[in-house]
Amino acid sequence: MKAEFSGGKMFSKYLLFLVLVTISSVISNNVSFKNVTLWIWGKNLTTIPSANNLKDYLPRKWTSMILVTGTIPILYENSVTDIENVNDLQFIGNEIIEIRPGAFKNLKSVETIRITGSNITTIAGVFDNLTLEQLSIGSNKISVIPSGVVKSSDLKELSFANNIIETVEENAFDHLPNLKTLDLSHNLLSDLPSGIFRNLSHITYISLDNNKFTTIKGEIFDNSSILNLYLADNLLKTLSENFMKQMPNLIGIYLNRNHLTEIPAGIFNNQTVQHVDLSNNEISYIAPNAFDNMPNLTDLFLPRNKLQQYDSRWLHNCPKIYRLFLSNNLLEQLPDQAFKNLNNKKEQWVKLDSNKIKKISAETFKGWKRVDTLELNSNEIKVWHEDYLADVEIIRTLNLVNNKIVCLDGDFDKVFKAKRCTYLGNNPFSNDCKRKIREWSARNPHKVVV
């Protein structure tokens, strides 16, 4: 009996030893920073051999930004706390797979945290109630943004760019009353819940560039504070008529590099938007009244589409338009009084380069008064006459490079009325025409480049 009792005692001691070793191992393994390097302004500040908390290795004097490199599989509770003298804290390429709740606490001076190039799948509850103003979790492996992903009254900028996000849950951003900028670009989004931005009363900038949207529901953008909306590099083929209606204060809409084929009436009409970018689409048709009644429109970008016709009825009642870019389309001719609806109180910049325009007439630019830059380079124009810009009171730059002009007709003082320069290179001028141009240019240096 005594032997049995002694053996049992020894076994109990062995079990206790195993438990203590296991606890010790767990404690020793809860090290966030091992062989991690801190950088300041591109210089190696220090390498942390092993530490549970970052603060002990930070400089004692104020510094605007610290970069943390090296492998950090897990940020444990209390690993980044009590930071007093760093404004911007960046974790770069650390292969982080998990951030435990409570990892970040009492960040007295930190306004910005960026965690880029890791393997994080969620941050729910991690950054709640911190005094951060900017938070960026980019180039990670987040696939779902859950409801209430971050709860902060101080946060102004939030970025989840370059993740694999397919789903944003309802109420995901409802606890961010002062958020101004939201970046969800370079993800896999094809839809968003209706009214997802409704409670962001201060949001002004939303980027959804480089996602998988094929269509956009107007109900998504039910928010009057949105000023700039970026939807470039998606798969959009059509736009619903009401998709801009819930953004009455929108300034810029960026729809470049999509698959839009036409712009019907009703989408842009009566909107207060100033900048519309529709470049790099497949647009072959624009309704005559598609851009009517846009009182604040200043810039319309349509380069690299498939437009074959320009309609002089476009831009009716758009009194502020002064930049119109139509480069790299399939335009073969321009109608009479093509730009009659442009704002003549401001000098215009019109790009028509890289089309197939063969002929210009005296009626083409009829009534057009003030021009900063007219680009007609890389077309198929054969004749340029003094009458073509007869109504123009001022033009600063005219570009006719790379056309098929054999000679210039009329009084060269009227032909070369551009104040800065007329560019004529790579045209098949006759020898006689070249001689006349050189003679005129000698008397008016710097105004012609052949």
Does 448 reside within a domain? yes
pLDDT over threshold 80, residue 3: no
In this structure, is residue 152 part of a structural domain? no
Q: Which of 46, 28, 32, 11 is nearest to 77 (CA)?
A: 32
Contact by Cβ (8 Å): 135, 111: no
The pLDDT of residue 29 is 63
CATH of the domain at 354: 3.80.10.10
> Is residue 8, in this structure, part of any structural domain at all?
no
Task: List all residues 6 or more positions away from 155 whose beta carbon is below 8 Å from its beta carbon.
Answer: 132, 133, 134, 135, 176, 178, 179
Residue 168 lies in a domain: no
Stronger pLDDT, 231 or 409, i.e. the higher one: 231
Q: Quick one: pLDDT at residue 344?
A: 77
Mean pLDDT of the chain: 92
DSSP per position, 178-237: T--EEE--SS------TTTTTT-TT--EEE--SS--S---GGGG--TT--EEE--SS---
Q: What are the structure tokens assigned to 333, written together?
A: 């001719």
Number of domains in the chain: 2
Here the tokens at position 426 are 């790579």
pTM of the model: 0.90
pLDDT in tens, 6-59: 445 444 443 443 333 333 333 446 899 999 999 998 899 999 999 999 999 999
- Domain end point (choices 65, 96, 120): 120
Choosing from 120, 153, 174, the residue where a domain stops is 120
| Mean pLDDT in residue range 358-385 | 95
Task: Look at residue 290 and tell me if it is in a domain.
Answer: no
In this structure, is the dihedral angle defined by the CA atoms of residues 439, 444, 445 and 448, taken in order, positive or negative? negative
| Residue 55 resides in a domain | yes
Domain boundary among 95, 120, 145: 120
How far is residue 138's CA from residue 39's CA, in Å, rounded to a whole number?
20
Q: What CA–CA distance (Å, rounded) separates 396 from 22?
A: 80
* 4 pLDDT above the threshold of 60: no
**CA dist., res. 23 & res. 17, Å (int):** 10
Structure tokens at 13: 């001691």
Q: For position 55, what pLDDT does the model report?
A: 93
Confidence (pLDDT) at 177: 96
Does residue 270 fall inside a structural domain? no
Note the pLDDT of residue 14: 39
State residue 18's pLDDT score. Answer: 36
- The closest of 334, 343, 270 to 307, measured between CA atoms, is 334
For tokens 């949001």, name the residue.
203
Has residue 61 got a pLDDT over 70?
A: yes
Which tens digits make up the pLDDT trace of 276-303? 999 999 999 999 999 999 999 999 999 9
Q: Residue 55's domain spans which residues?
A: 31-120
Q: Is the pLDDT of residue 327 over 80?
A: yes
Query: What is the per-residue DSSP string for 346-357?
Result: S-EEEE--SS--
